[in-house]
């Protein structure tokens, strides 16, 4: 009898508005990470197929570096999206580290839109509810 009451209370808590809000934020965060990985494919293709031989050498080198970083970010963003979606215990730390590294790289390279996206990712990851859901204190 007592076990049934505890199960009912746990079920009620899972449908509370705050839990549903956290689930929505985590789902959106995961989907945007996956979308960023998918969007990096055509962006890298555009960078590599552009006429880089008609620009100064330093610009060509920067384009090649940016394209290489985008290609390296594709599997990372896809894996992070899956890990956040499935609430893996390591997802929060890796997502924060990856987004900080990419933010610095994008700022140094002068790439504004992905840098803004990294800032949005970091602000969402550092919200207390999302951090608690992705990186529980007891683990």
Task: For residues 41 and 61, give the distance between their C-alpha atoms in angstroms, rounded to a whole number.
Answer: 19
Residue 20 lies in a domain: yes
CB neighbour class for 52 (10 Å; exposed up to 12, middle 13-18, buried from 19): middle
3-state per-residue secondary structure call for 13-76 = HHCCHHHHHHHHHHHHHHHHHHHHHHHHHHHHHHHHHCCHHHCCHHHHHHHHHHHHHHHHHHHH
For residue 139, being part of any structural domain is answered with no
Question: Over the chain (139 residues), what is each successive 10-residue block's mean pLDDT?
Answer: 51 55 82 87 80 78 81 89 88 89 83 84 84 67
The reply to whether 98 falls in a domain is yes
> Alpha-carbon distance 67 to 64, whole Å?
5
In a domain, 83, yes or no: yes
Is residue 94 included in any domain, yes or no? yes
pLDDT at 47: 77
Distance in angstroms (rounded) separating the CA atoms of residues 40 and 70: 6
Q: For the chain, percent helix, then strand, then coil, each to nearest 5?
A: 85, 0, 15
Rounded to an integer, what distance in angstroms lies between the CA atom of residue 130 and that of residue 114?
Answer: 21
Whole-angstrom distance, CA of residue 109 vs CA of residue 30? 25
Number of domains in the chain: 1
**The pLDDT of residue 130:** 79
Residue 32 covered by a domain: yes
Domain that holds residue 89: 2-134
Give the pLDDT score at 62: 79
Q: For position 17, what pLDDT does the model report?
A: 53
């Amino acid at each position: 009898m007592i076990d049934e009451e505890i199960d009912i209370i746990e079920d009620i808590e899972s449908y509370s508005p705050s839990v549903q809000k956290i689930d929505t934020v985590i789902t959106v965060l995961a989907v945007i990470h996956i979308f960023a990985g998918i969007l990096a494919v055509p962006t890298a293709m555009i960078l590599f197929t552009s006429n880089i031989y008609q620009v100064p050498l330093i610009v060509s080198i920067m384009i090649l570096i940016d394209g290489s970083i985008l290609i390296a970010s594709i599997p990372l963003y896809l894996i992070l999206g899956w890990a956040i979606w499935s609430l893996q215990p390591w997802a929060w730390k890796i997502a924060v580290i990856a987004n900080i590294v990419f933010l610095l790289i994008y700022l140094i390279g002068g790439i504004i839109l992905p840098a803004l996206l990294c800032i949005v990712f970091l602000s969402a990851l550092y919200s207390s509810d999302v951090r608690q859901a992705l990186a529980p204190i007891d683990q």
